[in-house]
Amino acid sequence: MESHEGAAAAAARDCVLDFSRLSLNTFNADNISGDRKSDTRQLFLNYNRLSSLPSSVSLFYNLEILDISNNGLTDICEGITRLTKLKTLLAKNNRLDEFSLPKEFGSLQLEVLNFSGNRFEEIPLQCTKLMRLQSLSIGGNRLKSIPAEIEHLTSLEMLYLGGNLISDIPPELAHLPYLTYLVLCDNRIQSVPPQLARLHSLRSLSLHNNLLTYLPREILSLVHLEELSLRGNPLVVRFVKEMIYDPPSLLELAGRTIKSRNIPYCPYDMPYNLVRYLDLASKCPNPKCAGVYFDSCVRQIKFIDFCGKYRLPLMHYLCSPECTSPCSSNPQSDAESEEENSVPADRLQRVLLG
């Protein structure tokens, strides 16, 4: 038994080539036998002085893990696209930017990609073509935005974009059905799109050290969310109520009447654009109101109680000013107080505000 275990351990060691921390300026694979190249599954070139990824890495055609972190890399060679079995690429703490990747980089079968600690100002579109990617880390760069094409990464489970210059979250991010961990801390984000409520697999959302003053009320729909990190944001510390209300148009008044009174209609009764307009009605969230709205609504920032300890400001939409209660000793609307009581204490295991 021991001999079999020893043989297995030796075989595992044979699959690994470790050239890390050797102060290498170049990597020459000429002295490595063909069989060893074929057997190698993991290649470590991290903590050296490489300025570009040598084309000789393409000779390790069975490679599954490649670590080229902590070098001075400014370029990744075209040869990497020939590593058809490569699953993990670690290239953090280099000098890479959006022009450093080969054109066909998106053809790789990567599952894990780490470009943190580089000089990316944009997420390369090649990265949005990695259809098997499960983990993407581009933290500590100079990213100013997240491309809408991020929605193509439908296998993604973890997205780390902390420590950048991002100001907006694209609603397309909500099209990632398996996203479980989303890290957007240490950016310049001012608002969270309500579409993120569609991330039904999301368990951890890190938004600390941004410029958030409120959250969309739709965040309550994230039923699997266990951790929400919000510390370091200018979240209001006292009750704030903001009302922005434009009087409804005649079209909207007519639409509200039809929907709220359940007046029957069919596509043959009116032009298609009016039928489509009626289909866009949103129900007022106030449980004491049966009204609807289309374009004209009251926008309020309301506090929702989480875990019996923290009160978070969420954006709330109502159909009219009449849906809010008059000021009283408890300066909250009926809609708000009922909604607060409906949020169970265990919805979030950790809400980090401090």
236's CB contacts (< 8 A; 6+ apart) are: 213, 214, 301, 313
Instruction: Read off the DSSP letter of residue 45.
Output: -
CA 115/CA 92 separation, integer angstroms: 5
pLDDT digits (tens, 9 = 90+) for 175-211: 999 999 999 999 999 999 999 999 999 999 999 999 9
* pLDDT at residue 290 in the model: 77
**What's the whole-number mean pLDDT along residues 167-180?**
97
Res. 254: pLDDT tops 70: yes
* pLDDT at residue 20 in the model: 97
* pLDDT at residue 183 in the model: 98
Query: 310 falls in which pLDDT band (50, 70, 90)?
Result: low
Rounded to 5 degrees, what are φ and ψ at 323?
Answer: -80, -10
The mean-pLDDT minimum among 12-16, 64-68, 109-113 falls in 12-16
pLDDT digits (tens, 9 = 90+) for 3-56: 444 444 444 566 999 999 999 999 999 999 999 999 999 999 999 999 999 899
Q: Are strands 181-183 and 158-160 parallel, antiparallel or unpaired?
A: parallel
Q: Which of these, 91, 86, 81, lies nearest to 116 by C-alpha position?
A: 91
The one-letter code for the residue type at 286 is: N
Res. 239: pLDDT tops 70: no
* pLDDT at residue 273 in the model: 84
Query: 305 falls in which pLDDT band (50, 70, 90)?
Result: low
